[in-house]
Amino acid sequence: MWFEQVLFFIAAAGALTGALGVVLLQNPFYSVLSLVGHLLGLAVLFLLLHAEFLAAAQVVVYAGAVMVLYLFVVAYIGGADEPLRPESGGVAVFGPLFALAVAVELCIAFISSGLQALDTRGADLGPGFGSPGGIGELLLTDFLVPFEAASFLLLMAAVGAVVLARRRRGLEEVGTGKFSTRDDPPTETLEVRV
């Protein structure tokens, strides 16, 4: 299976360089673009792990929609270059050291975990492994409560984003200038709160 190995190393190198680009590039715009490359590399890795539906969702939802949201905000607030290192030396030295320690510790934990199946290529799979049908069936049977909780969380996030990003002063001006001159005061509380 040399083809799988070559594809793994290409995708892993892409994902790692994308991740390094996110951290090391100074312009936030290029960081976002680098994260898109990282997500595409991860989608290839998901395909190699027989998670086809997850790879498709990664490309469409993550690399498509969420990254476009990021790009909008970067363009909105103006991606100003920043100096990479903070001037105080403590975080600049201990941040990468701590990250290296975390990586080494995680590798030691994985390798010495004693799981016999880690050195294999995984269990034998059925024909429909990772298909949308299988995942959807799991979502609606075994994982119904997390599914509903996630949807409720999305609803809360949407409402929270509207509350956070509304223009407060603008709404008050509309409310006082346009609607308060009317004669019927009971209806104005309904139409201002959008």
Is 176 an interacting residue with respect to another protein (CB under 8 A)?
no
Tokens for 79?
A: 């991606």
Residues 37-66 binding another protein (CB under 8 A) are: 38-39, 42, 45-46, 48-51, 53-54, 57-58, 61-62, 66
The 4-43 site mask, x for binding another protein (CB under 8 A), equals: xx--x---x--xx--xx-xx----x--xx--x--xx--x-
Cα dihedral 94, 98, 99, 100 in deg (nearest 10): 100
Question: Which of residues 5 and 180 has its CB atom nearest to another protein in the complex?
Answer: 5
The rounded distance, in Å, linking the Cα atoms of 143 and 107 is 30
* Among 3, 44, 75, 99, contact with another protein (rule: CB under 8 A): 99
Query: Nearest approach, Cβ of 191 to another protein (angstroms)?
Result: 24
Residues 129-168 binding another protein (CB under 8 A) are: 129-130, 134-135, 138-139, 142-143, 146-147, 150-151, 153-154, 156-158, 160-161, 164-165, 167
Check: CB of residue 177 under 8 Å from CB of residue 192: no
Tokens for 121?
A: 């290529």
Phi-psi region of 66 (alpha: psi -120 to 50; beta: other; left: phi over 0): alpha
Q: Residue 83: which of 16, 17, 24, 21 has the closest Cα?
A: 24
